Amino acid sequence: MTGEEAGRAPSAAALRVAHDVFGLSALRPGQAEVIAAAEGGRDVLFVAPTGSGKSVAYWVPALASPGLTLVVSPLIALMTDQVIRLRRAGVAAAAIHSQMEVGEQREALAAALDGRLRFLYVAPERLATPSFEERLAQLGVTRFVVDEAHCISSWGNDFRQEYRRLAGAVTACGRPPVTAVTATATPQVREDISRNLALRKPFTVVTGFVRIGLTLEVQRCRQGAEKLRAVARAVAEVPGRALVYCGRIRDCEETAVALRADGVAAAAYHGGLDGPVRSRVQTAFTEGGLRVVVATSAFGMGVDIPDIRQVIHRDFPACLEDYHQAAGRAGRDGLPARCLLLYNPADRGLQELFIAQSYPEREVVREVYRALLRAGRWDLPEPAGLVPNLDRRAVEASVRLLENAGALLPGGEVRRLTGAPVDFEERRRLREAALARLDQMMAYATSRECRHARIADYFGEQGVARSCSACDNCLSPRPAERPVPESAVRAALRGVARFDGHLGGTRLAAVLRGADSAWNRDRPWVRELDFFGALAGWEEAAVRELLVKLVERELVLRGHGERPTLGLAPAGRAVLRGEREVTVSIPGSSRASRPEGPPSSGHRAGRRPVATPAAVGSRAATGDQPEAPGQLRFELLRRWRLGLARAEARAAFTIFDDRTLREIAERDPGSVADLLQVHGVGAAKASRYGDAVIGVLRDTGRSADALPARPD
C-alpha cells in the first residue's frame, strides 16, 4: 500500500453510503484506503482476489459525491450482474452492450447524457466506435473505472488489444480520476497497467490474496480413470455445490457423465454447447437444480454464487492468475470451502500445446492469410477447413491476430497487406512470458511451502504469514525429502535413454529394480543392460517417485495417451554427457525401508545395486493402496471420516488425509499411544479422534459385510 491515504479513513458520507445503500457495517481490507484515495481525487490501482469487494470500493466514493461514473468491463455477464445489483440497491445504473436492442442502447445513453444515471457500464469495443467516442466529452464523467484492468497488459494472462485504446478514452472524457481494478496482476503487470492507462502517481493497494476460509490442496494422480475417481471422491467428501474445471471439452463431458452415473446432479458447460443450453445450465446451477457444473474456464466470470463449497481443477491451468481467479469462486459467503488441484507432471504438455496454438508462428499466420485471400472472404463458418493441415486452434488464433491487425475488415473483406501484420518478435516474447507463467503454476503444484503464502508472493502482497491452517502442506506436512544418490539418478537416466519413447514408468521401474517380471523374463537381453537391477534395494513406489521427479525437473519427457512412455529430454542428455550437474530429492519418512538385500538371481553377476536413500520407499508416503486386510481397514476408516466430515461440514482430508489413513490401516495400531507413531497424527488429532479410530479398527472384522460398494 502506498501514499498518504494509507492512514486516512473514508468520509462520513462514504461510510453512510456503505451502510445505508449496501448494508455494510464494516469494510474489508483495502476498501477503506481505496475509498479515501478516490475521494481525494487520486488515481487508484486496486488488486484483490475475486469476491473481495473491489466493486464496492469504487461504488461507495462515486455515490458519496455527484456525477457519473463510467465503468469499462469486458464481459456482458459481469456488466449485467453489476447493473442488477446496483438497481436492487436503488442506484440508477445501466449498461450498453451488443446483446441489447438498439432502442435500449439509445435509451441508456440518453439517460446518461441527461444526468439520470450514476453508473454507465460499457464494453471496451464500444469506446472505439466513432459515434460513441464523440459523446464521451458530453457525458460529464467524474470518475473513469477500468474493470479487469490486467487485460491492458501484454504480459498478463488475458491481454485484449481493445484495452490499449482506453487511455485515449480517458482523455476524451476530460481526464477524470481513474480507478483500475483487477484480481490478477503481478508486479510487472501492475507497472504495465499504470503505463498504458497513463495513471498519475496511482495509489496502489494489493491485498486479500490469503483467504484462510479456502483450504488449498494439490493431489497428484495419474491421468484418465484415476483423475475421474479423484473428482468423484472429492465431490462425495464435501457437501454442497461444486465447480469442476477441465482443460478440454471432451473431459468436461466425460466427467459430467461419470458424476451423473454416481447419482450426482451434474452438467457440462463449454464453448461447444449452444448459447441457450449454456444459459439453462448456468440458471439451473444458480437456482440449485444442479449440484455440480463441469466446465472449461469460460464458466463463472461475472457470476456471483456465494455458497460454492468446492472448486476442483481436474486439469492443470495455464497460470496462477487463472487458477486463483477460478478457486476464488468458492466460499464467497465466508464459510469454509475447498480448492483441489489434481496434478500430473504430464499436464504441462497440454498447456504448452495450448500456448503454442495461441501464439502461432509467422509461417502459420502467413499460410492462413494466403488461404483467406484465395477464398476472398474471412467470415466463413469454418475457416479452419481452408487449411486442413493446420491445427484448428492455431488457425483461429491466426484469424484473431489478422483481424486485430486490420487485415480482416468488417463485412468479411480481406485486405492485402504490404508488411507483417504484427511484430512477431513481440509475439515470441509473449509466448515466453506465457511459458514462464506456466513454470510458476508448476512450482505451486510441487511446492512444499504454504500455498497461501506462495500465491501472495506471486501477486506481490507484502507481510503475509509463512504458514497457515488452510492448505495441505501446513495441515499435513510432507515427510522431509532426501537426496537421491547421483549414481541412482544416472542409472535412471540411462534406462530412459535406452528405451527412449518405448517404455512407460512401470516397466522401466521393474528393469531398474531387476524385478522378476513377465516382461523382463521374456527378454533375456534386458538382464545384460548395465542399469538392470541398479536400484534393486528400492521399492517400486520409490523408483516411480524418482522417475516422476525427473519429469518434473524436465530431465525426462513424458508422452500423452492412455499408456504414456518416457523419453530423455535434452537436459537429461547433458547430465549423462557430464555437461550438467543435478540434485534430485524425493519424499521420505522416518520409517525407512531397508535395501532388499543382495541382488536376486535375475541381476547380472557382480553388479551391486545402488544404495537406497534414507527413508525412500515407505508405502505410506507414496500413496500405494494397502493390501487386504489393510484394504478393508482403509475403506472403513474412509467411511468413518466421510461421516464425520459431513457432520462437521468440513473437508474430509482436514481430519486425516488418505496417506495417513493408509498408514493407519497398514499398521493397525492397538492403542492411541501406538496411533501417535503414525506420520500425520499429532497429539491434538490423537486426542480428538484417537478413540474413534481405534474403535473403527477393532470393528473391522465384524463390519466386513457393511463395507460400501464404492469408496467415499
C-alpha closest to that of 235 among 280, 296, 290, 287: 290
Q: Which of 41-45, 141-145, 163-167, 343-347 has the lowest mean pLDDT?
A: 343-347
pLDDT at 573: 93
- Do 331 and 355 lie in a common domain? no
Identify whether 200 is part of a domain: yes
Identify whether 624 is part of a domain: no
Read off the pLDDT band of 2 (50, 70, 90).
very low
- Do 681 and 570 lie in a common domain? no
Q: Which residues contact 3 (CB under 8 A, 6 or more apart)?
A: 37, 42, 201, 203, 204
pLDDT at 269: 92
Considering 558, 593, 617, which residue would you say is the last residue of a domain? 617
Strand order in the sheet with 141-146: 93-96, 119-122, 68-72, 141-146, 178-182, 44-47, 203-206
Q: Is the pLDDT of residue 561 over 60?
A: no
- Do 218 and 179 lie in a common domain? no
pLDDT at 598: 31
pLDDT at 314: 94
Q: To the nearest 5 percent, what fractions of the chain are helix, strand and coil? A: 45, 10, 40
Identify whether 219 is part of a domain: yes
Mean pLDDT confidence for 503-517: 89
Identify whether 22 is part of a domain: yes
pLDDT at 340: 97
585-587/481-483 β-pairing: antiparallel
**For residue 67, is it left (φ>0), alpha (ψ between -120 and 50) or beta?**
left
- Do 231 and 324 lie in a common domain? yes
CATH of the domain at 258: 3.40.50.300
What confidence tens digit (pLDDT) does each residue in 219-249 have?
988 877 889 999 999 999 999 999 999 988 8
Cα distances from 472 to residues 2, 52, 197, 332, 339, in angstroms, run: 33, 23, 40, 21, 10
Higher pLDDT, 46 or 5: 46
pLDDT at 14: 95
- Do 154 and 251 lie in a common domain? no
Q: How many CB atoms lie within 10 A of CB 665?
A: 26
- Do 30 and 155 lie in a common domain? yes
pLDDT at 615: 36
Higher pLDDT, 44 or 128: 44
What confidence tens digit (pLDDT) does each residue in 618-671 have?
333 333 333 456 778 888 888 888 888 777 766 666 788 777 888 888 888 888
Domain carrying residue 278: 214-344+436-475
Q: What is the count of structural domains for the chain?
A: 5
CATH of the domain at 521: 1.10.10.10
- Do 261 and 153 lie in a common domain? no
pLDDT at 303: 61
pLDDT at 535: 93
pLDDT at 120: 97
- Do 263 and 194 lie in a common domain? no
Angstrom distance (rounded) from CA 642 to CA 469: 20
Q: Is the pLDDT of residue 174 over 50?
A: yes
- Do 189 and 323 lie in a common domain? no
pLDDT at 417: 84
Considering 206, 234, 258, which residue would you say is the last residue of a domain? 206
Please give the full DSSP string across 349-416, using - where no structure is assigned: HHHHHHHHHHS--HHHHHHHHHHHHHHS-S--S-GGGG-TTS-HHHHHHHHHHHHHTTSB-TTS-BPP
What confidence tens digit (pLDDT) does each residue in 565-607 have?
889 999 999 999 988 888 888 876 433 333 333 333 334 433 4
Higher pLDDT, 538 or 638: 538
Mean pLDDT confidence for 167-180: 94
- Do 406 and 442 lie in a common domain? no
Mean pLDDT confidence for 122-126: 91
Q: Which of 24-38, 177-191, 344-358 has the lowest mean pLDDT?
A: 344-358
Q: Provide the β-strand partners of residue 464.
A: none
Give the cell for residue 187: 508486479
Angstrom distance (rounded) from CA 653 to CA 638: 10
Q: Which of 66-70, 265-269, 500-504, 630-634 has the lowest mean pLDDT?
A: 630-634
Higher pLDDT, 34 or 564: 34
Identify whether 48 is part of a domain: yes
CATH of the domain at 658: 1.10.150.80
Q: Is 57 exposed, middle or buried (0-12, 13-18, 19+ CB in 10 A)?
A: buried
Residues 534 and 512: beta-carbon distance below 8 Å: yes
Identify whether 625 is part of a domain: no
Angstrom distance (rounded) from CA 305 to CA 308: 7
What confidence tens digit (pLDDT) does each residue in 192-216 have?
999 999 999 999 999 888 888 999 9
Angstrom distance (rounded) from CA 514 to CA 610: 12
CA dihedral of residues 435, 437, 441, 446 (deg, nearest 10)? 70
Which amino acid would we find at residue 689? Y
C-alpha closest to that of 589 among 549, 616, 611, 625: 616
Residues 394 and 361: beta-carbon distance below 8 Å: no
pLDDT at 626: 39
Q: Which residues contact 141 (CB under 8 A, 6 or more apart)?
A: 67, 68, 69, 70, 173, 174, 176
Identify whether 427 is part of a domain: no
Considering 617, 639, 656, which residue would you say is the last residue of a domain? 617
Residues 447 and 473: beta-carbon distance below 8 Å: yes
Q: Is the pLDDT of residue 545 over 80?
A: yes
Q: Is the pLDDT of residue 60 over 90?
A: yes
pLDDT at 328: 87
Return the CA Rg of the chain: 29
Q: What is the mean pLDDT of the chain?
A: 83
- Look at the chain and count its residues: 712
What confidence tens digit (pLDDT) does each residue in 418-473 have?
888 878 888 888 888 888 888 888 888 988 788 998 898 888 888 888 888 899 98
pLDDT at 602: 39
Q: Is the pLDDT of residue 612 over 80?
A: no
Q: Where are the alpha helices (DSSP H) in 218-262?
A: 225-237, 249-261
Cα distances from 482 to residues 76, 78, 542, 614, 617, in angstroms, run: 52, 49, 12, 7, 11
- Do 111 and 12 lie in a common domain? yes
- Do 315 and 458 lie in a common domain? yes
Read off the pLDDT band of 705 (50, 70, 90).
very low
Residues 312 and 245: beta-carbon distance below 8 Å: yes
Share above pLDDT 90 across residues of the chain, in percent, rounded to a whole number? 35
